[in-house]
Structure 1
Amino acid sequence: MAEVTAKDLIEEFNLELINNEEQTVFRPITTSDISRPGMEMAGYFTYYPAKRIQLLGKTELSFYEELSESDKEDRMYRLCTYDTPAIIISRGIEAPEFLIAAANAVGVPLLSSEKTTTRMSSMLTTFLESRLAPMTAMHGVLIDIYGIGVLITGSSGVGKSETALDLVRRGHRLVADDSVEIRQEHDGILVGRSPELIKHLLEIRGLGIINVMTLFGAGSVRNFKRIGLAIDLEIWDNKKQYDRLGLDEDSVKIFDTEVPKIEIPVRPGRNLAVIIEVAAMNFRLKRMGINAAEQFSERLSNVIDEGASED
């Protein structure tokens, strides 16, 4: 899991740091949940979620202004704890003096945004869910083929990068080569991207490192893509029986998500780029309810049944 702090929020959303930077401690943000401390403004701190980002809008601060001076000070000093990663004030509302003093006392980053409270809450949640999502790295190649994120895996030297290069030449888009960072951003949704160090790069044995975006243009790459299909390349084994109809459906489990998987045997003379391209198109058809293998099996059963009835 990547570490996120208020510094990342400042850069991402162009926020202004209100309090004293020298006294500010940029604590890690550990949850994507956002708190709007309305009950806390009324003095109820029994279940105060101090480890969440606290978002103050017009409603909370309008209520705050009606409190007595002693209550105002009490609320703000109880709001700012050593666990609080940041407090954000929306709509460009001026920060109360007691809040600035309390934030400085424990080093809580106090930030200001011109955006509305609801908009700021939505943007923060989306950003944090993406950055704090569980992450793993897999050896393979991720390509966007006809809108399908295809994760190509296989042993080293089987031809993954060469196949990816051929697919890029055919108009598809590279996301990552060699190492794919995969995050489960929501239930059932896996998003892959490339490590920053090797972004847009392909390693071709005998040729070396090539920059796909420089050679083929900006339309040949993507920064991230949802993974929909996994294809495992393996050296052809004459002793192994491979699926010839496509009725058997396999999958690979990444985190809690099952991704459909196809095994493709590799041997000289097979055009892997075309096979993978067709596999992606066939996968799209299956999602639309058109399954060629099942249609063939049904036809075959009908022919057998008709032959049996004639006998």
Structure 2
Amino acid sequence: MLKVRTKDIIDKFQLEVISGEEGISRPITTSDLSRPGLEMAGFFTYYPKERVQILGMTELSFFERLSEQEKRDRMAELCTEATPAIIISRNMDVPQELIDASEETKVPLLRSPMKTTRLASRLTNFLESKLAPTTAVHGVLVDIYGVGVLITGKSGVGKSETALELVKRGHRLVADDCVEIRQEDQDTLIGNAPELIRHLLEIRGLGIIDVMTLFGAGAVRNYKRITLVINLELWDQKKQYDRLGLEEEKMKILDTEITRLTVPVRPGRNLAVIIEVAAMNFRLKQMGYNAAEQFTNKLAHVIEEDNEDFQ
């Protein structure tokens, strides 16, 4: 499914349509932009025609120095069947040659009052967000002390009930049951809830509850960066669980590896408190303090001293 079309950036940035209105449904497939300076000089060998083209004061000032025939030729080559849009910045006057080429090829010709660099920056951020790789994960996403914690586990293990307890303790719900995740950068995963179930929790025995209505606007947020995954699983007596915290397990989502902790579930364990402490401990590790390493170093030092005394 196509994620972004030219009409989306027209609506988002309130761009003025000069010509080529028939092409506003063209797809935009890349977040990269192009400022065709070399192309204005006639070098079209590596012209990235699939990108949104931005013409600023530099490009149009050079264009005015060309002959009438060169102006028509350059603009005819600039407008292709694959070009999603050409944007003029600073509300500058649009060359007639560009309007003619735009009408002939149905390439949307747009204009913005913003400066060229600001327009390029905002447009890049918007396109990177919309065109980022996405996936969906079964789980619950909660903002705990500023840490985006994705709680996973088999159906019925208690994810939603744990999230409800965390919300009661003052933390914020992002998504329940289905978490939509997009990769905005090499190591940045942003999670949000599908529009249909935003701010809702499903609690077995109670049904669907609206967290924002019950607990207020401060109990929810629309999206959050995911930095920690906590997997809940039923307690297995035959399995050896990590008791020191030295081992760090990773989980790969899209192209990003996230730290994952496995927490066994059994009657009497307060999962909300455990996950809350896990988030705080994760923050401490990010700040350079690792309690498990400190304990191991102290233990090794004590053993070394005992060995010296024994000798």
Give TM-score, length-normalised by structure 1.
Answer: 0.96
Asked whether the 8 Å contact 2:134–2:180 carries over to 1, the reply is: yes
Given residue 76 of structure 2, which amino acid in structure 1 is its aligned partner?
Y
- Residue matched to 2:83: 84
Choose 215-224 or 4-13, whichever is displaced more.
215-224
- Residue matched to 1:103: 102
Distance (Å, rounded) in 2 between the aligned partners of 1:101 and 1:198: 48
Asked whether the 8 Å contact 1:55–1:90 carries over to 2, the reply is: yes
Residues 205-244 of structure 1: pairs in structure 2 closer than 5 A: 205-244=204-243
Asked whether the 8 Å contact 1:153–1:230 carries over to 2, the reply is: yes
Asked whether the 8 Å contact 2:99–2:109 carries over to 1, the reply is: yes
Cα deviation code 1:139-169 (max 9, x no counterpart): 1111111111111100001111111111111
- Residue matched to 1:266: 265
Given residue 202 of structure 1, which amino acid in structure 2 is its aligned partner?
L
- Residue matched to 2:8: 8
Cα deviation code 1:177-223 (max 9, x no counterpart): 11111111111111111112211111111111122222222222222
- C-alpha distance 2-169 of structure 1, shift in aligned 2 (>3 A): farther
Cα deviation code 1:102-158 (max 9, x no counterpart): 112222111111110000111111111111111111111111111111111000011
Given residue 17 of structure 1, which amino acid in structure 2 is its aligned partner?
V
Residue 18 of structure 1: SS of its match in structure 2? strand
Cα deviation code 1:15-35 (max 9, x no counterpart): 1222153x2242111111100
- Residue matched to 2:40: 41
The percentage of counterpart residues that share the same residue type is 67
Shift in Å, 1:228: 0.6
- Residue matched to 2:19: 19
Asked whether the 8 Å contact 1:2–1:131 carries over to 2, the reply is: no
Choose 274-283 or 254-263, whichever is displaced more.
254-263
Residue 284 of structure 1: SS of its match in structure 2? helix
Residue 181 of structure 1: SS of its match in structure 2? strand
- Residue matched to 1:302: 301
Runs of 4+ displaced beyond 4 Å: none
Distance (Å, rounded) in 2 between the aligned partners of 1:266 and 1:201: 24
Residues 182-201 of structure 1: pairs in structure 2 closer than 5 A: 182-201=181-200
Give TM-score, length-normalised by structure 2.
Answer: 0.96
Asked whether the 8 Å contact 1:26–1:108 carries over to 2, the reply is: no
Structure 1 unaligned regions, length at least 5 = none
Asked whether the 8 Å contact 1:2–1:132 carries over to 2, the reply is: no
Structure 2 unaligned regions, length at least 5 = none
Residue 164 of structure 1: SS of its match in structure 2? helix
Distance (Å, rounded) in 2 between the aligned partners of 1:97 and 1:208: 63
Asked whether the 8 Å contact 2:23–2:106 carries over to 1, the reply is: yes
Residue 226 of structure 2: SS of its match in structure 1? strand
Cα deviation code 1:253-301 (max 9, x no counterpart): 1122210110000111111111000000000001111111111111111
Distance (Å, rounded) in 2 between the aligned partners of 1:35 and 1:20: 19
Choose 231-240 or 207-216, whichever is displaced more.
207-216
**CA RMSD in angstroms, aligned pairs only:** 1.3
Residue 136 of structure 1: SS of its match in structure 2? strand
Asked whether the 8 Å contact 2:154–2:233 carries over to 1, the reply is: yes
Choose 219-228 or 277-286, whichever is displaced more.
219-228
Distance (Å, rounded) in 2 between the aligned partners of 1:217 and 1:107: 49
- Residue matched to 2:153: 154
Given residue 19 of structure 1, which amino acid in structure 2 is its aligned partner?
S
Asked whether the 8 Å contact 1:191–1:226 carries over to 2, the reply is: yes
